Structures are given as structure tokens and as C-alpha cells.
């Protein structure tokens, strides 16, 4: 059974403003080191998949950037959404493309913009998920062993005992929403809750059948597009039909409503990098608990994330801040408020400061 990988590289990436901009979302930034999150996502799975079997989905504004960053990606393997419609249409569309190439394929789907520190363990989990999904008619997801009572993630509750014959793999009891701080602590202590990583593995046919059953409107739209895939009218059909598809996540539309799901336990230093503070947590701190990139001088400064892209940053007597200069803007934000940066971006939009978006 052929294996395909689908890297979801959509998303507007407002959370890393001012580094991320509408023309340069998070997945295209070198947030971790010298290559972009998308490039790292691609390289991470190259050992598991034939290059012909890696597909990348992104928005039309970012297609050129994706091509530029992924020079190894085969020409026809970039799927371009005319408009972001959340993960269910994205995954359904990718499944249609794959089924056209190979009716019996198994597909891995995952977001381009996450942190994965333990590549070998990550590959082991994917391998396990791919084997399970290719041999059984079952939806498989990777659940991350929580390391803190995180309130920013959805959780997956597993059954108490492992699935027969497959250690560290469990039946899913339920998907649960982002919890309060107290509930998150309970989940951490209970030991039966994983973070929902957004990494899924299944047979292409199976996910399309699920979509047909649970999201019939989406399925009929995808079917209408499917007729044009690989033909002259594909782009026109996409532009006409895709934006009208229901905008819904695969979690809400399929996973939460499906009775039989397996979760593979993953423990590979994962983070969805949802904020500057989350990014700061991924880096080693200096002796004053600061994370610094770019030219910097500081006095009596602790627990700050400092990034100056072009300009020198100097700090004196400050704590717990995110300070970022990128392009034509400077952000100064308290660490604990860094998840609200989208409000600032909205503010820029309201004030029509488009040059800073």
C-alpha cells in the first residue's frame, strides 16, 4: 500500500507578528534555526516517503514562497487553496488528489508549523501509525504525552489499557476541548490524556468515506472539484467551488464524531508554537533567563525574549517581555499576553496600517 504525506502549510500566522506578516506566515519563518518550519517539516519526513508522495497544501498568496522554500518538491505536488477553509476541506482535497494517483494509498497529514525536537522518536511514531492505518480500517492520530498543564491545547482521553498487540497505542475515549487550568492539571495527573497534535494517519478511502457520511456537503463539493483535478479547468473549478466549502476542522467534523479511533503515544518534544512565549520556551536561556537573537545589549533584564532582525535592541531594568523588531515594526509585549497578539494585528487592520500587516 502506497504511503503519502500531506503537509498542511496554510494559515495566516498572525501570532508571530511583527516577524510573521500576511505575505510571510509563521510556517515560512526561520523561527527555529536556519531553515523555515515548513522546510524542517519537509526534511523531517523525507526518510519515510518518496518525494513523489509528499504533497504540500498552501494558500494561493503563499504558493510562490512554498515553491521557493521547497526546491525538492515535485512540481505537481503543491496543492493551492484559493482561500483557507480550515482543515477538513484541506485534508479532503488532498485525499481526492491522492486517490486519483493511487486508489489504495495510506496518508499521513500534519501541520507545517509545529516544533518536533526528537526526530527519531517522531519517525518511530509515524511509522507505527502508518502500519496501523494501512492494515486496519481505522483513523489513527498521534497523541502527545503532556509535560505541563497546558490550557492552550485540545486533549485526547484514551482508554486505560493498550490496544491488543500494539504497545503505547490506545483506543480513543474522547476528544476534549482546551481545558481550564484546574482541569488541565487533572488531565496531567490522570496520565490518560494526550495533547491533540493534529497529526493523523488513515487510508485515503476511509477518510473520504467518513467525510461523505459526516460532512456530506463538503463531500459533494470535493467531488465536484475532483472531476477537474489534473484537467484544464482545475484552477477555475477550485476558484469557484473551494471557497464555498464549509469551513470546519477535521477534529470537529470527523474525529469527535467517529467511534473507532486509535491514538499512538508520542513523546518527542512537540509544541504547536502558538505564541512568542511558547517559542521562547523552546530555546536554552542565558544566565538571566533571556532568549536572545540578533544584536543586543541588556542590563538588569530577566526572562525576556529579544529578537532584533535589523536593529540593535537594548534593554534596561525590564522583566518578562517579548521584544521583537522585524521589518518596519517593533513589538513590546508581556510574555503572558503574547497569545493576544492577534488583537494587535486586528488593531493595525482597523487603523488601516496595511504596510505593517
Site of interaction with its own copies (CB under 8 A): 17-18, 295, 297, 299-300, 308, 310-318, 321, 323, 325, 328-334, 336-338, 340-341, 343-344, 347-348, 351, 353, 356
Q: How far is the CB of 274 from its own copies (least distance, A)?
A: 15
> Does residue 187 contact residue 212 with C-beta atoms inside 8 Å?
no
When the beta carbons of 227 and 343 are compared against its own copies, the nearer one is 343
When the beta carbons of 174 and 347 are compared against its own copies, the nearer one is 347
In whole angstroms, give the CA distance from residue 157 to residue 176.
7
Rg, the chain, Cα only: 21
When the beta carbons of 167 and 317 are compared against its own copies, the nearer one is 317
Q: How far is the CB of 142 from its own copies (least distance, A)?
A: 33
DSSP 132-171: HHHHSS-EEEEEEPPSS--SSS-EEEEPSSPPTT-TTEEE
Q: How far is the CB of 308 from its own copies (least distance, A)?
A: 7
When the beta carbons of 80 and 344 are compared against its own copies, the nearer one is 344
When the beta carbons of 183 and 344 are compared against its own copies, the nearer one is 344
In whole angstroms, give the CA distance from residue 130 to residue 124.
10
In whole angstroms, give the CA distance from residue 66 to residue 105.
25
Q: How far is the CB of 300 from its own copies (least distance, A)?
A: 7
Q: How far is the CB of 305 from its own copies (least distance, A)?
A: 12
Q: How far is the CB of 23 from its own copies (least distance, A)?
A: 16
> Does residue 41 contact residue 26 with C-beta atoms inside 8 Å?
no
> Does residue 88 contact residue 10 with C-beta atoms inside 8 Å?
no
When the beta carbons of 16 and 200 are compared against its own copies, the nearer one is 16
In whole angstroms, give the CA distance from residue 353 to residue 215.
39
160: CB partners within 8 A, 6+ apart: 192
In whole angstroms, give the CA distance from residue 184 to residue 202.
29
Amino acid at each position: 500500500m502506497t504511503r503519502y504525506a500531506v503537509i498542511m502549510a496554510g494559515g495566516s500566522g498572525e501570532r508571530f507578528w511583527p516577524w510573521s506578516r500576511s505575505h510571510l506566515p509563521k510556517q515560512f519563518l526561520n523561527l527555529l534555526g536556519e531553515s523555515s518550519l515548513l522546510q524542517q517539516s519537509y526534511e523531517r519526513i523525507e526518510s519515510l516517503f518518496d518525494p513523489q508522495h509528499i504533497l504540500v497544501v498552501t494558500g494561493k498568496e503563499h504558493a510562490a514562497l512554498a515553491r521557493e522554500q521547497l526546491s525538492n518538491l515535485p512540481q505537481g505536488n503543491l496543492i493551492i487553496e484559493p482561500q483557507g477553509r480550515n482543515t477538513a476541506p484541506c485534508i479532503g482535497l488532498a485525499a481526492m488528489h491522492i486517490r486519483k494517483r493511487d486508489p489504495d494509498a495510506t496518508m499521513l497529514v500534519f501541520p507545517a508549523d509545529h516544533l518536533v525536537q526528537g526526530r527519531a522518536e517522531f519517525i518511530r511514531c509515524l511509522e507505527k501509525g502508518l502500519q496501523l492505518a494501512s492494515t486496519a480500517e481505522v483513523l489513527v492520530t498521534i497523541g502527545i504525552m503532556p509535560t505541563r498543564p497546558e490550557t492552550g491545547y485540545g486533549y485526547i482521553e484514551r482508554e486505560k489499557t493498550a490496544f491488543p498487540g500494539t504497545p503505547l497505542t490506545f483506543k480513543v475515549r474522547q476528544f476534549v476541548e482546551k481545558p481550564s487550568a484546574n482541569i488541565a492539571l487533572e488531565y496531567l495527573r490522570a496520565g490518560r490524556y494526550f495533547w491533540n497534535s493534529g497529526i493523523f494517519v488513515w487510508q485515503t478511502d476511509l477518510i473520504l468515506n467518513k467525510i461523505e457520511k459526516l460532512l456530506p456537503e463538503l463531500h459533494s463539493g470535493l467531488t465536484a472539484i475532483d472531476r477537474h483535478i489534473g484537467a484544464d479547468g482545475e484552477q477555475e473549478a477550485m476558484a469557484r467551488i473551494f471557497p464555498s466549502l464549509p469551513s470546519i476542522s477535521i477534529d470537529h467534523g470527523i474525529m469527535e464524531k467517529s467511534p473507532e479511533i486509535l491514538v499512538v503515544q508520542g513523546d518527542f518534544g512537540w509544541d504547536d508554537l502558538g505564541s512568542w512565549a511558547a517559542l521562547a520556551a523552546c530555546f536554552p536561556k542565558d544566565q538571566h533567563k533571556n532568549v536572545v537573537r540578533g544584536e543586543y545589549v541588556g542590563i538588569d533584564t530577566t526572562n525576556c525574549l529579544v529578537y532584533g532582525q535589523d536593529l540593535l535592541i537594548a534593554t534596561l531594568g525590564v522583566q518578562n517581555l517579548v521584544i521583537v523588531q522585524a521589518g518596519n515594526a517593533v513589538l513590546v509585549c508581556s510574555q503572558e499576553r503574547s497569545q493576544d497578539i492577534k488583537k494587535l494585528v486586528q488593531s493595525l487592520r482597523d487603523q488601516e496600517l496595511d504596510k505593517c500587516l
